[in-house]
């Protein structure tokens, strides 16, 4: 019997090593190597088995790029506008879509809603490996979903799943979840790096050769990242994260990778008794401000994917009771906040080295762009001076280390969105000042942090 070959794969970057070592030589991360078995797996096993089962398709035929007919693969609209927006206006046939999220975020609920609705138009298969068929049926009944056409399968063996799919030939398929699937050709336990990688590769190749759209549900680690090897994210076409805890009514679906649409697109849903409902105007829920005007509150306009989003930033500055002042940011980058406070001291003349600074983005939104720099510092100054800002005021702009205020993309659209919600004043970078006046809005264009503080 031939000796079984093994390798060690990095969970973060997917690179392979001949022997175990504490640090990955490719990405530099520590304790991320996992042992996988290479012996029983045959490189062409998936493709060969597909051809034997009779669904190899025409992927092996050569075509000129100009001769490919794009009308043969129209996008499939799910009927949920926020979900379609994140996908890029619908599901592309033959694509592999990975959805991750914390336990209880609503991944299975959202996919069950979509599959029940689309099963009325086309053949759809829902494969569950974590729940029984009765549990899924009880959830569908509780949500009041049409359940007379959706095909169900409780299976974890990858070859049995593809055999059933080849027999039924569905247009859509859900695998819930990829971490519990296993292949008989891999000797390791389900959920291991080798099992997840081989099962995902098998399903992705099946999706491409049969033109079937497949949704893969993925678990996340306690740090909030996707569990399993990093190479899993490279295999699929679209990767989305459904975020939101048990204490929040709202869920946000963010695209982190999309070959068919915009990256960092954001969809907002509300968790109700009848399932996840789309929120068509997210700015309205994130701007549910109290009637009482208080210091340390200011609204900014983010750009999420292809649309503007208004959120409120709150700051609290208080004298430190300890020797080391605290800097806590929720929804913002902690290191960037510390850098901006240093800029405020150097170019704004405000000393806060002996103050505790707490910053929060209302609604649980995570700010990933730099356009919120100006609003963050102005809200900090408002709390530090104990002076409330105008409720009809917004601000956005990136702040550099020299105290300059840099322009941000889509400034005109941000101002128009703010005007729609009743804001009448805006402090923006000089390069983002509109060429034509916006009705009902006074725009204050500034180029330095000192000018923005004087405009308050």
DSSP 136-201: HHHHHHHHT---SS-EEEE--BHHHHHHHHHHH--SEEEEE-GGG-B-TT--SPTTSHHHHHHHHH
The closest of 242, 258, 245 to 305, measured between CA atoms, is 258
Is the domain of 301 the same as that of 269? Answer: no
Instruction: Name the domain count of the chain.
Output: 3
> Which string of b and e fits 113-142 if b means at least 16 CB within 10 Å?
bbbbbbbeeebbbbbbbeeeeeebeebbee
CATH of the domain at 133: 3.40.50.300
What is the biggest distance separating any 2 CA atoms in the chain, rounded to whole angstroms?
81
Residue 92's alpha-carbon distances to 13, 87, 95, 259, 302, in angstroms, are 27, 9, 6, 10, 28
Which single residue is written with the structure tokens 């990858």? 158
Is the domain of 412 the same as that of 327? Answer: yes
pLDDT, mean of residues 159-177: 94
Decide if pLDDT at 168 tops 90. Answer: yes
pLDDT, one tens digit per residue, over 389-424 is 998 999 999 999 999 999 999 999 999 999 998 999
Q: Note the pLDDT of residue 364.
A: 77
* Confidence band, pLDDT 50/70/90 cuts, at residue 40: very low
Q: Which of 53-57, 132-136, 145-149 has the lowest mean pLDDT?
A: 53-57
Q: Which one of 235, 250, 280 terminates a domain?
A: 280
Is the domain of 276 the same as that of 291? Answer: no
| Beta-sheet strands, E only, within 39-105 | 96-101
Is the domain of 24 the same as that of 97? Answer: no
- Residue 57: inside a domain, yes or no? no
Q: Note the pLDDT of residue 141.
A: 93
In whole angstroms, give the CA distance from residue 203 to residue 182: 12
pLDDT, one tens digit per residue, over 170-187 is 999 999 989 899 988 877
- Residue 58: inside a domain, yes or no? no
- Residue 140: inside a domain, yes or no? yes
Decide if pLDDT at 246 tops 60. Answer: no
Q: Which one of 228, 247, 280 terminates a domain?
A: 280
* Confidence band, pLDDT 50/70/90 cuts, at residue 49: low
**Would you tell me how many other CB atoms lie within 10 Å of the CB of residue 209?**
19
Q: Which one of 258, 280, 302 terminates a domain?
A: 280
Q: Cβ contacts of residue 280 below 8 Å, gap of 6+? A: 81, 82
Which single residue is written with the structure tokens 């170019």? 347
Residue 42's alpha-carbon distances to 50, 198, 396, 405, in angstroms, are 14, 10, 55, 57
The closest of 283, 381, 378, 372 to 332, measured between CA atoms, is 372
- Residue 61: inside a domain, yes or no? no
Residue 421's alpha-carbon distances to 61, 104, 194, 403, in angstroms, are 54, 33, 51, 30
Is the domain of 29 the same as that of 138? Answer: no
> Which string of b and e fits 275-285 if b means at least 16 CB within 10 Å?
bbebbeebbee
Decide if pLDDT at 45 tops 70. Answer: no
* Confidence band, pLDDT 50/70/90 cuts, at residue 289: low
Is the domain of 297 the same as that of 228? Answer: no
What's CA 363's distance to the chain center, in Å?
16
Decide if pLDDT at 120 tops 50. Answer: yes
Task: State yes or no: cis peptide before 177, omega within 30 of 0.
Answer: yes
Dihedrals phi, psi of 9, to nearest 5 degrees = -110, 135
DSSP secondary structure code for residue 78 in this structure: -
The closest of 364, 366, 375 to 313, measured between CA atoms, is 375
* Confidence band, pLDDT 50/70/90 cuts, at residue 307: confident
Is the domain of 298 the same as that of 386? Answer: yes
The residue range of the domain holding 363 is 285-455
Q: Note the pLDDT of residue 10.
A: 79
276 and 114 Cβ atoms separated by less than 8 Å: no
pLDDT, mean of residues 317-335: 90
Helix axes of 133-143 and 107-118: crossing angle, nearest 10 degrees: 80
pLDDT, one tens digit per residue, over 84-102 is 999 988 999 999 999 998 8
CATH of the domain at 338: 3.30.230.10
pLDDT, mean of residues 277-299: 82
Is the domain of 301 the same as that of 252? Answer: no
Q: Note the pLDDT of residue 245.
A: 59
Q: Cβ contacts of residue 39 below 8 Å, gap of 6+? A: 2, 3, 4, 5, 6, 187
pLDDT, one tens digit per residue, over 365-386 is 889 889 999 999 999 999 999 9
In whole angstroms, give the CA distance from residue 320 to residue 304: 35
Name the token pair of 18.
């001949």
Q: Cβ contacts of residue 439 below 8 Å, gap of 6+? A: 419
Name the token pair of 24.
């990955």
Decide if pLDDT at 50 tops 60. Answer: no
Which single residue is written with the structure tokens 């048990």? 246
pTM for the predicted model, two decimal places: 0.75
- Residue 60: inside a domain, yes or no? no
- Residue 67: inside a domain, yes or no? no
- Residue 330: inside a domain, yes or no? yes
Average pLDDT of the residues of the chain? 86
Is the domain of 273 the same as that of 321? Answer: no
* Confidence band, pLDDT 50/70/90 cuts, at residue 213: very high
Task: Among 220-229, 297-306, 442-451, name the most confident range.
Answer: 442-451
Is the domain of 275 the same as that of 289? Answer: no
Is the domain of 130 the same as that of 272? Answer: yes
Decide if pLDDT at 128 tops 80. Answer: yes
pLDDT, mean of residues 312-322: 92
């Amino acid at each position: 019997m031939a000796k079984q070959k093994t390798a060690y794969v990095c969970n973060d970057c997917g690179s392979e090593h001949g022997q175990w070592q504490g640090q990955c030589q490719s990405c530099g991360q520590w304790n991320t190597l996992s042992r996988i078995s290479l012996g029983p797996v045959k490189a062409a096993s998936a493709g060969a088995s597909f051809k034997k089962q009779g669904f190899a398709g025409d992927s092996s035929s050569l075509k000129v790029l100009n001769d490919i007919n794009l009308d043969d693969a129209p996008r499939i609209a799910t009927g949920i506008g926020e979900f379609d927006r994140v996908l890029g206006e619908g599901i592309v046939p033959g694509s592999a879509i990975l959805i991750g999220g914390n336990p209880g975020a609503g991944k299975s609920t959202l996919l069950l809603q979509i599959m029940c609705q689309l099963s009325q138009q086309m053949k759809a298969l829902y494969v569950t490996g974590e729940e029984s068929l009765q549990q899924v049926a009880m959830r569908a009944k509780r949500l009041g979903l049409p359940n007379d056409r959706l095909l169900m399968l409780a299976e974890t063996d990858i070859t049995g799943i593809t055999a059933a799919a080849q027999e039924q030939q569905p247009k859509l398929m859900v695998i819930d979840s990829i971490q519990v699937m296993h292949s008989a050709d891999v000797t390791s336990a389900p959920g291991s790096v080798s099992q997840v990688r081989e099962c995902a590769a098998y399903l992705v190749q099946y999706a491409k050769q049969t033109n079937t759209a497949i949704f893969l549900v993925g678990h996340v680690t306690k740090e909030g990242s996707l569990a399993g090897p990093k190479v899993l994210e490279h295999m699929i076409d679209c990767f989305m994260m459904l975020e939101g805890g048990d204490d929040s009514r709202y869920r946000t679906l963010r695209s982190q990778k999309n070959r068919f649409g915009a990256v960092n697109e954001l969809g907002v849903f509300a968790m109700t008794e009848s399932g996840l409902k789309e929120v068509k105007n997210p700015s309205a829920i994130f701007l549910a401000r109290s009637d009482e005007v208080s210091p340390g509150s200011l609204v900014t306009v983010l750009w999420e994917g292809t649309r503007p989003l208004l959120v409120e930033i709150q700051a609290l500055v208080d004298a430190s009771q300890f020797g080391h002042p605290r800097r806590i940011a929720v929804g913002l980058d902690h290191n960037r906040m510390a850098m901006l406070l240093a800029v405020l001291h150097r170019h704004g003349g405000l000393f806060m080295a002996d103050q505790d600074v707490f910053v929060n983005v209302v609604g649980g939104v995570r700010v990933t762009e730099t356009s919120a720099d100006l609003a963050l510092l102005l809200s900090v100054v408002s709390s530090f001076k104990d002076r409330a800002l105008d409720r009809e005021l917004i601000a956005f702009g990136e702040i550099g280390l020299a105290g300059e205020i840099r322009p941000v993309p889509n400034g005109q659209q941000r101002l128009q969105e703010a005007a729609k919600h009743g804001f009448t004043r805006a402090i923006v970078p000089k390069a983002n000042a509109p060429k034509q006046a916006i009705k009902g809005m006074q725009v204050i264009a500034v180029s330095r942090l000192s000018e923005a503080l004087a405009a308050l």
